[in-house]
Each structure stands twice: as structure tokens, then as C-alpha cells.
Amino acid sequence: MADRRFDIVVFGATGFTGGLTAEYLARHAPAGMSWALAGRNMDKLSAVRARLRTIDSAHAELPLLHADSEDPASLRAVADAAKVVITTVGPYIRYGEPLVAACAAAGTDCVDLTGEPEFVDRMWLGYHEQAERSGARIVHSCGFDSIPYDLGVQFTVEQLPEGVPISIDGFMRSSGSISGGTYQSTIEIFSRMRSASAVARERRRREGRVSGRRVTGVTGAPRHDEFGGGWVVPLPTLDPITVLRSARALDRYGPDFRYSHYLAVKRLPVLAGLAGGAGALILLAQIPPARKQLMKLKSSGEGPSEEQRAKSWFSIRFAARTTDAGAVRTEVRGGDPGYSETSKMLAESALCLAHDELPDRSGQLTPAVAMGPALRRRLEAAGIEFKVLDGSA
């Protein structure tokens, strides 16, 4: 891809998170890097470029490319011009496939923010083999879904001896608000749970089991856990699925790897309220008129203010143990999870793919498999902490 016009193209920069990602690149992209903004509304793209010009006047002439998720030819033109395409255009189950198709065909790396399990499975079924042949690296979930968990578990595993059985519990705590795009993607996920289950079964059938090793997701029991940070409950999101896929792909996770994933809150009534609210949303999302009304409550493009983001934070703790080789506890910690840190993770993922020496792999890959320690070093330099709290091998 040495002859590609752009190192990175940001598709969706007129959205809330896409704009934050573009701002991050405007501040942190290496000197001389060639990049561009892409979208369907050139006037809105020009307004984003004007905002970037206030960060650095060198961006006054940043190229703007027309790209529309309903115009496959425009997306193929973007993919042909770029080494890496960042996309923040969601819900991905509605808008994401044409870009993945274009990148898989063109041999172009692609990163996104999806937390939608069905979309990830559909893209593996449809484009993984083509991406392997073309050399494209399709890396989903390069934001708070699912980098802190995926790289955090990988970091934890690296603290333990090789070739031993490993069990890890992950506990997530955070404070923050959600944007309109994240809200709409969540309602979309809730409304498609049956379809998602069917697609997941087909992927499992096609993939088969890992040979010579065992990798298991363990649904733990709700309980109080002092290290976890309070009351914990299993959290069935895309994040533990991503962790287990990394474990299946990488022998370093040992001959018998088990992972449990939890949400942690300080007070039990808060946990009960969250569970009740999620249950109500899942139920209402199954009813088309109710789902339509839910979608109207928060519009795409809306998001928390800079002041709100400055007060937000996340902490993910991991408790790892082996059969007879010791234990270790670690933590990944950062600021505003959904937006400030997510845009950082997404942009650094694209920079990592564009510029770093990485394993020679292609197809649909998890962040840990595609980038692993190279991306972790970037994130640490950018202020996200990966640390050992106690224990040793």
C-alpha cells in the first residue's frame, strides 16, 4: 500500500465521536502524515475542517472526500486511496457493511467502534476470507468497546508464565454519559437479539473449535467482590466475546483459558435499577412502534459536553489465577470512556496500523491479535494506564 494517497481517512467526521477522532488526529498525527476527511455532506465536512484549522493552521487544506454508505462506488474510491479507513458511521448493522466490503476488496485496513455482536459476526461470515486474500486487516471495536478489555486481558496474561491454565475475572466500573449514536446502536442491538443469536451460531459452526487448547467463557454469579469494586453482575456484551476470540487465536493464553466479565457498582440498589432499566429497554425494543419512539429520544450527533467528559472515568480490574503458578491482579484506567478515550483509542489504532511494525496477519482480527503490545504502548504514551496492582508468577 506504499502508493496509497492517504495514510488515514476518517469516514464520519461530521458525527460526534468522528469529530473528536479528527480533532485527536489534528493534535497528534505525526508531521507529514497524509490524511483526509470523508462523508456525504461536503458543507459539514468543511465546517469540521475549519474547526481543525483552529488546532493547527496546517489543516486548512485538509482534503475532503465524498463518501456515502449508500454509494458503494464512493466507498471503494476512499478504500483505494487509503492505507487505513476509520469509520464512526453507525449503527453499523445499518450502515457499516458497504465500507467493510470496499476495504476487504481493496486490501485496505479498517477500524471502527462497533459494540454490535451481530454486525461483527456478519462481517466475518461475509468478508473475512476475502480480507485474508487481499491483505486487509478489518479490526472492529477499537474504542471502549473493546480495547481496554482485550488489551487488558492480554497484558494480564503476559504477567504469568507460559503454558499454564489461566482463569481471569474482569470487573468494569465507569462514570459517563452516552451520545445519541451510542444510544441508537444500543436500541438496535436490543431489537435484533434473535437475529444476532442465529448469526452467532452460524459463525461458530463455520469457525469450528480451537485445536489442542480450551478457551471458555464462564458466566459468573452476581455477588459482592471487594477487589471488583462492589456488587458485580455478569455483563453479556461484545467485550468478553472479543477477549475469547483473542485467546483462541493466540497460544500465549495457555492450554486452558477461562474468562468471566462483570459490571461493578458500589451500591446494590443502583445495580437493581440498571438491570430493571435494561430489561425494560430490551422488551420495548421488540415492539416496532415503541422502538420507533425510543429512537426519537436521542438523536445521532448529540453528545456530552467537554465539561461532562472531563468528569468521567473508567476502571477495569482483572484478577488472574493459575492452577499452581501464582496469581496477579491488574488494572486499566483512563478518563471519559465513551468519547475522549474512545476517540483516542480509535485514532491510535489507525496510527498503529498505518505506521507500526505488526504481526503479519490479515482478515477480521481483534485489536489484541492485530496490534497487541504495539497499540498498548501507544495508549500508555497517550495517558491510559495499564498497571500491575499486586501478585506475581
The mean per-residue pLDDT over the stretch 185-195 comes to 78
Is residue 35 domain-shared with residue 109, that is, in the same domain? yes
| pLDDT score, position 302 | 64
pLDDT above 80 (res 294): no
Q: Pinpoint the alpha helices (H) of the chain.
A: 16-28, 42-55, 72-81, 92-95, 97-106, 117-134, 147-158, 180-191, 193-207, 238-249, 268-285, 288-296, 306-310, 340-355, 367-370, 372-381
Question: Is 264 domain-assigned?
Answer: yes
Q: Which domain holds residue 167?
A: 147-337+384-392
pLDDT for 189: 77
- Domain assignment present for residue 379? The answer is no
Residue 308 or 170, more confident = 170
Q: Say which range, 8-12, 114-118, 125-129, 388-392, has the weakest mean pLDDT.
A: 388-392
Residue 218 and residue 351 in one domain: no
Residues 296 and 356 in one domain: no
Instruction: Judge if 194 and 331 occupy the same domain.
Output: yes
Q: Are residues 327 and 348 in the same domain?
A: no
Number of domains forming the structure of the chain: 2
- CATH code, 43: 3.40.50.720
Bridge-based pairing of strands 256-265 and 166-175 is: parallel
More confidently predicted of 185 and 368:
368
- Per the domain annotation, does 1 fall within a domain? no
242 and 113, same domain (yes or no): no
Helix (H, G, I), strand (E, B) or coil at 286: coil
Query: Considering only 150-159, 200-209, 252-261, 306-315, which range has the smallest mean pLDDT?
Result: 306-315
Same structural domain for residues 158 and 291? yes
Strand pairing category for 137-139 and 363-365: parallel
Average pLDDT over residues 178-182: 60
Is 238 a member of any domain? Answer: yes
The answer to pTM > 0.75 is yes
* Residue 363 and residue 225 in one domain: no
| Domain shared by 153 and 292, yes or no | yes
In a domain, 81, yes or no: yes
**pLDDT band at 127; cut points 50, 70, 90:** very high
Q: What is the pLDDT of residue 2?
A: 65
Task: Indicate whether 311 and 188 sit together in one domain.
Answer: yes
- Tell me the H-state helices in 219-337: 238-249, 268-285, 288-296, 306-310
Answer positive or negative: Cα dihedral of 25, 377, 337, 364: positive
Whether residues 56 and 156 share a domain: the answer is: no
In-domain check, residue 14: yes
pLDDT of residue 125: 98
pLDDT in tens, 20-71: 999 999 999 998 899 999 999 999 999 999 999 999 999 999 999 999 999 9
Statement to judge: residues 210 and 328 lie in one domain: yes
Residue 129 lies in a domain: yes
Q: Residue 28 falls within a domain, yes or no?
A: yes
